[in-house]
Structure formats: C-alpha cells, structure tokens
Amino acid sequence: MHLFLSIHACRTCYSLVVLAVMVSLAGCASRPSAEVLQPAAIQQVESEKVTLLSVTNRNKVKEDGGFGSQWAGDLTYERYAFSIPGNRTGSAIIYPSKTPDPRRQFVVTSRDQLTRKAWIDDATRSANFDGTAAVFVHGYNTNYQEALFRTAQMAADAKTLSPPILFSWPSAASVTGYVTDRDAVLYSRSGLESVLKALAETPKIKRVVLFGHSMGGFLSMEAARQLKLQGRDDVVGKLQIILAAPDIDVDVFRSQLRDIGTLRNPIALLVSKTDRALEVSSFLGGERPRVGRIDIDDPLVRSEIKAAHVSVIDISSLSSSDGLGHDRYAGLARFGGELVKAEAHARTSGDIGVLVFDAAGAAAASPLRLAGQIVGR
C-alpha cells in the first residue's frame, strides 16, 4: 500500500512538473497576434503558393480584424492565400514581421470573406480537384492565427490538390484553459457537423478527410457520432477520420466507436507513448489513459486495435518542436504519400493494424507483422 502511494505521488509530481514546463514554454513563446492575418504585398521570390479555406464559430474582433475565444452563434467563412518559404526547415513556422520577408516567413497575401455557397464552391474549384476535401480541426490552447498558419504549413508540405479547410473552434488559447476548451469543444459539435454535411452533400466531393489534433480529435469523433445517431450514413460513409495525438479518454473512445460503428475507411490514430502533453491531460482527467498515448508494443492493445477495425500509426520517432512531443503530427504531412499507400494497402487487404514510421519518418510499414522490423531499425 505504501509503495502504491509512493508511486502515485511520484506520478503526480512528475505530471505537475510537465504542466509547469508547459506553462513556461507558453510564457516564453511569442504568440502571433491578429496582425499576421492582414494581407501583405510582397516582392516575387522563390516560394510556394497555398490557398486554403477556413470556417470558424469564434467571435469576430472588430479592433484587429481577427477572431477571439468567445463562442459565436454562427459560422464565418473565409479564404486565404499564403506565400510559403521554399527553403523552410521541418514543420517550423516563422510568422511575418511588420516588413515581411517571404524568403523566411509565412505571409498572408490575400484574404476574403465568403458566403457559405461561395465557400463550398471554392472547395471544388481547383483544376486538380480529385474529389477529396480535407478538414483540419486544431487542438487545445490554440488561437485562430496559429491554427490557420499550421494548416498552411501542412498543406504546403502535403502538396494537396484542393484547398485544405480549417475548422477553428473557440479555444481560450491558454495553458490554464483546459476545462474551458473542453466545454468549447462540446459547444462546437453542431458547427463542425454542419460543415461536414455541407461538404458531403456536394456531388463533386467523394471523400472528406477529417483530421483532428489533440482535443480537436475529441471534437471530430463527437461530430461523427452525432451524424451517425441522426442516421446520416450518407455523410458518415464519406468520412476518413484521422486523429493525431487524440486527447480522448480510452473508455470514451470505445463508446464513440460503438456508436459510430464500422466505417468504410478505418479510423487512423497517430500516437506516441512519449507525448508529455497527453500525460498532463491524463493527470487532469483523474489519471485516466488517453488514446494518443497507447502503447502499440502491448499485445492486448494490438489485439483490441484489430478488433476495433482501427489503424494505428506510431509517430514517436518523428521530431517535435514544442518540447513536449505533442506536435509531431505537423511533420507528417510531407510523408503523406507513404501514409496513403500504406493505408490503401490496409484497406484493400483487410489487414488493419499498426503502421510505424521509421526514424527518418520517410517510410511506413503495413501490415502489422512488419511493424516490429521497422521499430528495430
């Protein structure tokens, strides 16, 4: 008994230390203000051009033209064009200064507010549109501009054929706002559901990739669950759900899976047992385990993965820039081709299981029996 209490105390202390690190990192980092959303006229340099769409249920802030953390009663639709540095390093983002340097910085070059219809039309207007719409749902402690620029970075790395879509819910953008963000996610379920319906009901769109990070993964699953309970199999059937470091209680996730049922495209989880941000989340939630930290080396976990018809991608070997191992997913975009091929093989062979990225992040293995070989490299 005393040993158990000592172990429990050590875990609690460690979690508190990690929480303190999170607070200190947030305090040291310079967070972008809404000024970075203002379009800038830049000289033509060697850079990539990215166009993306956004939709948010955050409140509009008239003073700076941005969006805040208050809950809005309606959705705002926008389109952005970005200049992305051609020689950027990894998934790092350098925000524009008052005199933007497109050789080093991500720069907004145009911004337009759209009607819902015009926004939907834009989602399929690209000459290279391949029938897929991709929606990114950000995580906890994220302001609007951080989510927008992260979407631009991933779009540039993935070289998407159609404009990616950001769904930005009203995060408080504060380390101490965990409970507030959890409530904001629950409030935002119907907003995301509305967006998914609009996309799925568009005849040209054959598949909707729903990519949720951290607490955004919880929101993504809740929206899919609502759609299923409404009998909207026409929408759910088009979904490909990818959850990166999902901040979801394991038992809650099991319940969501039961309600949603087996999907045509298996849900994919991007996990890492060394994600320290999710360790703190687990502590705040009464030390209940989080889906994003499952251990793929555990035989019981592997067995349950197969039974649940879920694919799991271990991204522990990928680099992280946040000091906590919680943003590894951002570096995965440039290896999207490898992931797509592995996932396609898993779907056609029916061999759903574990995929593991190697230390370079440049290769994925499938099926399950090859995972151990890659881990051992």
Q: Per residue in 289-312, pLDDT tens?
A: 888 888 877 778 778 887 888 888
Per-residue HEC secondary structure of 46-68 comes to CEEEEEEEEEEEEEEECCCCEEE
Q: What is the pLDDT of residue 291?
A: 86
Q: What is the pLDDT of residue 299?
A: 79
For residue 251, the SS3 value is helix
Lowest mean pLDDT among 82-91, 148-157, 215-224: 82-91
Residue 196 confidence (pLDDT) above 90 = yes
Residue 108 confidence (pLDDT) above 90 = yes
Percentage of the chain exceeding pLDDT 90: 51
The average pLDDT across 52-73 equals: 97
The average pLDDT across 237-242 equals: 93
- Rounded to whole angstroms, how far apart are CA atoms 314 and 118? 38
Do the beta carbons of residue 311 and residue 269 sit within 8 Å?
yes
Q: What is the pLDDT of residue 290?
A: 86
Q: What is the pLDDT of residue 319?
A: 59
Where are the chain's structural domains? 2-330
Distance of CA 359 to the CA centre of its chain: 21
Q: What is the pLDDT of residue 94?
A: 94
Q: What angle do CA 92, 94, 99 make, to 5 degrees?
A: 165
Strand order in the sheet with 207-213: 107-114, 66-85, 47-61, 165-168, 132-137, 207-213, 239-244, 267-271, 310-314, 354-356
With bands split at pLDDT 50, 70 and 90, how would you rate the model's confidence at 335? Answer: low
2-330 homologous superfamily: Alpha/Beta hydrolase fold, catalytic domain (3.40.50.1820)
Q: What is the pLDDT of residue 332?
A: 62
Residue 359 confidence (pLDDT) above 90 = no
374 or 2, higher pLDDT: 2
